A and B are shown apart, each in its own frame.
Chain A
Amino acid sequence: MSVTALPRSTTRRTRLPAGSLGIGVATLWLSIIVLLPLAAVVARSFDDGLSGFWDAATSRQALAALRFTLIVSLLAAAINAAMGTLLAWVLVRDRFRGKGLVNALIDLPFALPTIVAGLTLMALYGPTSPFGINIAFTQFAVLLALLFVTMPFVVRAVQPVLIELDREMEQAALSLGASNATVFWKIILPNLVPALLSGAALAFARAVGEFGSVVLISGNIPFDTQVSSVFAFKQIESDNPVGAAVVSTVLLAISLLVLLGIRGLGRWGARHDR
């Protein structure tokens, strides 16, 4: 699923009634379903005032969770940026039996419920692993879960760009004496970077908020494998909604920043197009 930046507008002021109806309905819907609840979270996080917010946000446990969350999410996004590009490359440029199947299955993490994802990883890499690998309740397990759920992002972001890439640019570079490696690093990759970064940013945003796949396999050990989303969940369970709201507001801010970044990336990426 890609987040698109709007192209320069070529539409006219709406004449069709559906247009205005659409605007009205969409705005209303979004407000009720999305904006109002989110506003409640942000507002309630300040129930104890600014200092209360600050204290909750910077408590040792909250900070530890946030730090771990950000690092492991960044790592997952980075690894999947590389592996995703590789997978996209193989899916676009290579030919082998079963390629169609692999291509379809790439979307599995999108389609599979996160709790099932967590369970499947536990099955293979947890205490009941048939290969004897038990990494459950470790930080690595969290990384693994995040790698799973964010795998499709970069693949699907890079694939269309690779498909559209002007092969003649590569051939021109070859004719000018460039080695294959040079062609990849200097011609192909620079053209993939905007899509790659967009996909990685989305992967990062998803990873930061990921809950279902992490909740089982991480063991939620405070100061060790606890991520912010699970921390917030525990706060809700311990009847501390304000504390949860504070963490949520921080996560929300991160999400918004990433989304803005992706929009900017979209514009930056299109700067050389014509």
Chain B
Amino acid sequence: MILVRGVDKRFGTFQALDDISLEVPDGSLTALLGPSGSGKSTLLRVIAGLEAPDSGTVEIHGSDATNVPPQRRGIGFVFQHYAAFKHMTVRDNVAFGLTVRKRPKQEIRSKVDELLSIVGLAGYQDRYPNQLSGGQRQRMALARALAVEPSVLLLDEPFGALDAKVRAELREWLRNLHERVHVTTVLVTHDQEEAMSVADRIVVMNDGRIEQVGHPRELYDNPANQFVMGFLGPVSRLGERLVRPHDIAVDTAPADGAVQALVTRVVHLGFEVRVELRIDGEESVGVQITRDDAERLDLAPGEIVWVRPPHHERALDVA
């Protein structure tokens, strides 16, 4: 378990972390999610020991790690731009941590081969990083971090530098790896889809503070505030409340508690259909319905429809 208590970090006049306290359970895959400047990378680096906090403590597996240098924290770190040792072969890269720990050559060799096949780079032992694609370099970086059997794996926007398709593949691959290897993992990302699909717990951060912690579903359905709601998914405003566009019921016939609205635009996006409405002459409200519903209702701009907001539990009052 990783325990962070009361951590502050300032860079000049910029407060990167403001009294952060967090618990990361053993064996979990936790995502630190937030926009740029939210402090998520800084927090990760404080946990790693690559940054020293101005105040507060970091505890890793029961012992106080606050003043322990990164070499001795038993962590594995993966960087957004791979940080490959470009002057060493793939084999030497992955073996590095083991070489530093002076393990016997035979042991290193077999461990490296094993890890490279786990990450799908078997046979690439003698290549150099500049001969690998971005996705391959990141997998090498992961193998390198895992080689020393860290008790904590820290990933700093690991897929940020890769293109969309590779990113999606590696996401899934990471999740599978986690199922196999079960190392306590903390992942920093600004991509809510990534966090939602990979992590079992998400820590939403903004402006150096933690906004909410919880399971993806919990955060999506019961966001603590406007920021979390907006960051994790689409938001529509109905009067004084914020709701999810797909929680709004649309019908061509009036119903209890329904409000009249004018269809201004219908956008077909394959499976989902987005309908933009104007209610009481106010700004546009977005509603999301399935293709089947869209076909059934047969909406067109200029039509009058009736919309019913979801129950209170699914809505947030505007602050």
A-B complex: 10 closest residue pairs judged by Cβ atoms: A274-B130, A176-B97, A168-B83, A175-B77, A172-B83, A272-B86, A174-B70, A190-B87, A168-B79, A178-B100
- Could you say which residues of chain B place their CB within 8 Å of the CB of A174? 50, 69-71
| B residues whose Cβ falls under 8 Å from a Cβ of A | 48, 50, 69-72, 75-77, 79, 81, 83-87, 96-97, 100-101, 128-130, 141, 144-145, 147-148, 154
- Could you say which residues of chain B place their CB within 8 Å of the CB of A186? 96
- Could you say which residues of chain A place their CB within 8 Å of the CB of B70? 171, 174-175
Could you tell me the distance between the alpha carbons of A176 and B71 in the complex, rounded to whole angstroms?
6
- Could you say which residues of chain B place their CB within 8 Å of the CB of A171? 50, 70, 77, 79, 83
Given contacts A190-B87, A191-B87, A272-B87, is CB(A175)–CB(B128) below 8 Å? no
- From the candidates B71, B79, B85, B129, name the one contacting A177 in the complex (CB within 8 A): B71
Minimum C-beta distance from A273 to chain B (A): 7
Asked if B72 and A177 sit within 8 Å, CB to CB, the answer is yes
- From the candidates A173, A182, A187, A273, name the one contacting B130 in the complex (CB within 8 A): A273
B101 (CB) vs chain A CBs: closest residue = A177
B70 (CB) vs chain A CBs: closest residue = A174
- Could you say which residues of chain B place their CB within 8 Å of the CB of A172? 77, 79, 83, 85, 141, 144
Which positions 162-188 of chain A face chain B at CB distance < 8 Å?
A: 166, 168-169, 171-179, 182, 186-187
**Given contacts A177-B148, A190-B87, A272-B130, could you give 18 more A-B pairs where the C-beta distance is less than 8 Å?**
A166-B81, A168-B79, A168-B81, A169-B83, A171-B70, A171-B79, A174-B50, A175-B70, A175-B145, A177-B71, A177-B97, A178-B71, A178-B96, A182-B100, A191-B86, A272-B86, A272-B87, A274-B86
- Could you say which residues of chain B place their CB within 8 Å of the CB of A272? 86-87, 128-130
Could you tell me the distance between the alpha carbons of A173 and B50 in the complex, rounded to whole angstroms?
11
What are 5 inter-chain pairs, A to B, with CB distance below 8 A? A168-B79, A175-B70, A175-B145, A176-B148, A274-B86
Could you tell me the distance between the alpha carbons of A248 and B168 in the complex, rounded to whole angstroms?
66
A175 (CB) vs chain B CBs: closest residue = B77
B132 (CB) vs chain A CBs: closest residue = A274
- Could you say which residues of chain B place their CB within 8 Å of the CB of A182? 100
Could you tell me the distance between the alpha carbons of A175 and B45 in the complex, rounded to whole angstroms?
10
Could you tell me the distance between the alpha carbons of A191 and B84 in the complex, rounded to whole angstroms?
12
Given contacts A169-B84, A187-B85, A191-B87, is CB(A176)–CB(B79) below 8 Å? no
Asked if B144 and A176 sit within 8 Å, CB to CB, the answer is yes
- From the candidates B50, B84, B101, name the one contacting A175 in the complex (CB within 8 A): B50
A172-216 interface bits toward B, Cβ cutoff 8 Å, 1 = contact, 0 = none: 111111110010001100110000000000000000000000000
Asked if B100 and A176 sit within 8 Å, CB to CB, the answer is yes
- Could you say which residues of chain B place their CB within 8 Å of the CB of A177? 71-72, 97, 100-101, 148
- Could you say which residues of chain A place their CB within 8 Å of the CB of B148? 176-177
Minimum C-beta distance from B276 to chain A (A): 45
Asked if A176 and B145 sit within 8 Å, CB to CB, the answer is yes
Asked if B83 and A176 sit within 8 Å, CB to CB, the answer is no
Could you tell me the distance between the alpha carbons of A131 and B128 in the complex, rounded to whole angstroms?
55
A189 (CB) vs chain B CBs: closest residue = B87
B156 (CB) vs chain A CBs: closest residue = A168
- Could you say which residues of chain A place their CB within 8 Å of the CB of B72? 177
- Could you say which residues of chain B place their CB within 8 Å of the CB of A168? 79, 81, 83
Minimum C-beta distance from B78 to chain A (A): 8
Could you tell me the distance between the alpha carbons of A175 and B77 in the complex, rounded to whole angstroms?
6
Which positions 94-141 of chain A face chain B at CB distance < 8 Å?
A: none
Could you tell me the distance between the alpha carbons of A274 and B132 in the complex, rounded to whole angstroms?
10
B141 (CB) vs chain A CBs: closest residue = A172
Could you tell me the distance between the alpha carbons of A176 and B154 in the complex, rounded to whole angstroms?
12
Could you tell me the distance between the alpha carbons of A185 and B79 in the complex, rounded to whole angstroms?
22
Asked if B75 and A175 sit within 8 Å, CB to CB, the answer is yes
Among A174, A179, A187, find the residue whose CB has the most chain B CB atoms closer than 10 A.
Answer: A174
B99 (CB) vs chain A CBs: closest residue = A186
Given contacts A175-B48, A182-B100, is CB(A273)–CB(B86) below 8 Å? yes
- Could you say which residues of chain A place their CB within 8 Å of the CB of B69? 174
Asked if B50 and A179 sit within 8 Å, CB to CB, the answer is no
A73-91 interface bits toward B, Cβ cutoff 8 Å, 1 = contact, 0 = none: 0000000000000000000
Could you tell me the distance between the alpha carbons of A172 and B70 in the complex, rounded to whole angstroms?
10
Could you tell me the distance between the alpha carbons of A91 and B100 in the complex, rounded to whole angstroms?
29
Could you tell me the distance between the alpha carbons of A272 and B84 in the complex, rounded to whole angstroms?
11
B72 (CB) vs chain A CBs: closest residue = A177
Minimum C-beta distance from A177 to chain B (A): 5
Could you tell me the distance between the alpha carbons of A273 and B85 in the complex, rounded to whole angstroms?
11
